[in-house]
Structures are given as structure tokens and as C-alpha cells.
């Protein structure tokens, strides 16, 4: 269970961390003179990382839902294939 949960959670943490680093670089670029290409590249990178985080968090939510269902089914002594 831990491994199944750690994989998507780890992916989401990495994605959010990457988006945060990109945002920090964007803030620095704004102080030093922001170019259009830097803005476009950074917003694209942030968007990609947030999309990946969302995918991983959705996978985690589905895992939690399936674990809950399995726990309920085990409580009822039902076999789910």
C-alpha cells in the first residue's frame, strides 16, 4: 500500500517543487528585466508541472477510494475480483 501511494505522491511533490522553482526564477527575472520568452517558457513549465501534479494527485485519490472500497468489502466478507 505504501509503495502504491508513494509513487504518485512523490510525482506530485516533485512537480509542485519544480513549479515553485520556476516561479522563483520568474520572480527574479521580473526584478532584473523580464523578457517575453522567459515569461512564456516559465509559464509553460509551471503549467506542465501543475498538470503532472494534478494527474498524480488524481491517481492517489483513486487509490485511496479503491483501498476504502476494499476495506469495506473485507469487512462484509465479500470477495471482489
Is 60 inside any structural domain? yes
The pLDDT of residue 11 is 96
Name the band, by pLDDT with cuts 50, 70 and 90, for residue 73: low
Question: Who's near 81: CB < 8 A, 6+ residues apart?
Answer: none
**Alpha-carbon torsion (24, 28, 31, 35), positive or negative:** negative
> Average pLDDT in the 71-77 region?
68
Is 39 inside any structural domain? yes
Number of domains the chain is built from: 1
Is 81 inside any structural domain? no
pLDDT digits (tens, 9 = 90+) for 14-72: 999 999 999 999 999 999 999 999 999 999 999 999 999 999 999 999 999 988 888 77
- 0.85 exceeded by pTM: no
Q: Which of 70, 73, 72 is nearest to 62 (CA)?
A: 70
How many C-beta atoms surround the C-beta of residue 28 within 10 A? 11
Distance CA 13, CA 37 (A): 27
Residue-number span of the structural domain to which 20 is assigned: 2-75
Is 10 inside any structural domain? yes
The pLDDT of residue 41 is 97
Local structure of residue 46 (DSSP, 8 states): H
Is 80 inside any structural domain? no
Amino acid at each position: 500500500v505504501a509503495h502504491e501511494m508513494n509513487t504518485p505522491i512523490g510525482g506530485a511533490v516533485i512537480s509542485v517543487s519544480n513549479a515553485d522553482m520556476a516561479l522563483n526564477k520568474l520572480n527574479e527575472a521580473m526584478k532584473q528585466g523580464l523578457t517575453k520568452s522567459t515569461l512564456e517558457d516559465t509559464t509553460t513549465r509551471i503549467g506542465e508541472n501543475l498538470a503532472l501534479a494534478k494527474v498524480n494527485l488524481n491517481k492517489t485519490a483513486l487509490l485511496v477510494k479503491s483501498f476504502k472500497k476494499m476495506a469495506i468489502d473485507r469487512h462484509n466478507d465479500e470477495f471482489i475480483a
